[in-house]
Amino acid sequence: MLETEVAESLIRMGHALRTHHPAPGREKSFGGPWWQNPNGIWVDADDQLITTLYSTDVATGIYSPGGLIITTQGRKQAMGGQTIRSSTTGSAVTNVEPLYESLLVSALMTSYSINAVRGQSFVTCILQRNAGPNVQQQLVMYADYVSVNNPFVGWPYGRRIDPREGPGYTHTVTGGAPAAGANISDASPANLNRRLRTVSFTLTTSATVATRRVLWQVTDGTNLIWQASSQATQAASLVYTYQFGTAWGPEEAAVLPLGANSIITDSIPDLLLRPGYIIQTAVASLQAGDQLSASLYSVEEWISP
């Protein structure tokens, strides 16, 4: 959009103009005592702050990078004001903030999301020197999750962590609904790592006489890393719920009542799923009229390849 291009350029121009014509109220002279020099990093006109957001909070997540500099005239001046958001789950969105000769004393990312919890929105900020042919990425200013409960991360005093460090985003994922007579096959999405907590799905068998046995499998896309074969079988015209719990312990050999239906429970190891991992069923003697439901996965999730 041309309008957006013009606005972007005007922002850049205004950004430069503020150096020389400070807007009232937005800048203050550096007036600390002689024994208190400000701490910061000296930057100049070919440096820039590159802020990158990776978020699964696509619907409501609005994030704003910013910072504070002390100009060569000793004035404190705020930077930023732009907003960025993820358009695709977990993919990178980058904001570039050009700098000019000054002392960079802080850099900050603010989350205006009303929903994002930890594990959903990871932000990194890098100070890049010499934008151009001799470009040099010098310093990671911060790298951390922002959330409703922790809406600010920044430098200094912020952290530089890997997105898989610490607790992730706990939520429930609904897998794809297979067609009648078809098995479940759910691939883990790009850019996310998931720790499985529980899995459940239902098999409703048709009136066709057959002995079905559920085999539940996890692959890394190539190699089979776990499979659970139900000890109990399922006959015609029945509704069984199958559920798996991480490190739950027992394995039920027989079905138990679940209202008018039945349930079979099994334990699974503490599995981590990277993008491309596949959870699938291979039900023995599955009939054309049998219907597997979509799986419900309770997961802990992190932004990570």
Partner 1 sequence: MATTTTTLTPVDGRLQQALYDIAHAFRRGITVPAHLRAYGGPWWQSPQGLWLDLDDALTLTFYGTAGFPSPVTVGFRVIDTAGRIVSHANQAKFTLEGGAHRKVLTQFEGLLIAHHAVVPASAPPRGALYVRSGVDRNVGPNDFFIPVLFAGYLSQYQTLIGWPGSGLIDPLEGPGYTNTIVGAAPAAGADIAYSTVVNYTYRVRSVSATLTTSATAGNRQVVFVFGDGTNNIWRASFSPAQVASTTRTYQLGSRLGYEELATVPLGANAIITSSLPDLVLRGGYTFASSTTGLLVGDQWSTQDIAVEQWISP
Residue whose CB is less far from partner 1, 133 or 259: 133
Site map (CB under 8 A) of partner 1, residues 123-162, x = contact: -x-x--xx-xxxxxxxxxx-x----------------xxx
Binders of partner 1 in range 50-109 (CB under 8 A):
54, 72, 74, 82, 84, 87-88, 91-96, 100-101, 103
Residue whose CB is less far from partner 1, 46 or 294: 46
Cβ–Cβ contacts within 10 Å for residue 143, how many?
Answer: 20
Q: CB of 267 within 8 A of CB of 193? A: no
22, 30, 185, 265: which one binds partner 1 (CB under 8 A): 30
Q: Kindly state the tokens that stand for 202.
A: 């239902």
Is residue 112 close enough to count as binding partner 1 by CB under 8 A?
A: no
Binders of partner 1 in range 225-264 (CB under 8 A):
225-231, 247-251
Cα separations in angstroms, 171 against 177, 234, 299: 19, 30, 6
Is residue 15 close enough to count as binding partner 1 by CB under 8 A?
A: yes
CB 260, min distance to partner 1, A = 27
Residue whose CB is less far from partner 1, 180 or 190: 190
Cα separations in angstroms, 256 against 151, 212, 259, 262, 264: 46, 17, 10, 5, 6
Residue whose CB is less far from partner 1, 45 or 177: 45
CB 22, min distance to partner 1, A = 13
CB 121, min distance to partner 1, A = 13
Residue whose CB is less far from partner 1, 182 or 294: 182
Q: Where are the alpha helices (DSSP H) in the chain?
A: 2-20
CB 207, min distance to partner 1, A = 23
The b/e string for 173-210 (b: 16+ C-beta within 10 A; e otherwise) is: bebeebeeebbbbbbbbebbbbbbbbbbbbbbbbeeee
Whole-angstrom distance between the N-terminal and C-terminal Cα of the chain? 32
40, 181, 189, 276: which one binds partner 1 (CB under 8 A): 40
- CA nearest neighbour of 137 among 151, 125, 149, 145: 125
Residue whose CB is less far from partner 1, 122 or 201: 122
Binders of partner 1 in range 195-214 (CB under 8 A):
213
Q: Kindly state the tokens that stand for 191.
A: 């850019």
Query: Which amino acid, one-letter code, is at 100?
Result: Y
Q: Which stretch binds partner 1 (CB under 8 A): 40-48, 112-120, 169-177, 291-299?
A: 40-48
The pairs formed by 7-11 with CB atoms below 8 angstroms and a separation of 24 or more are: 11/81, 11/82
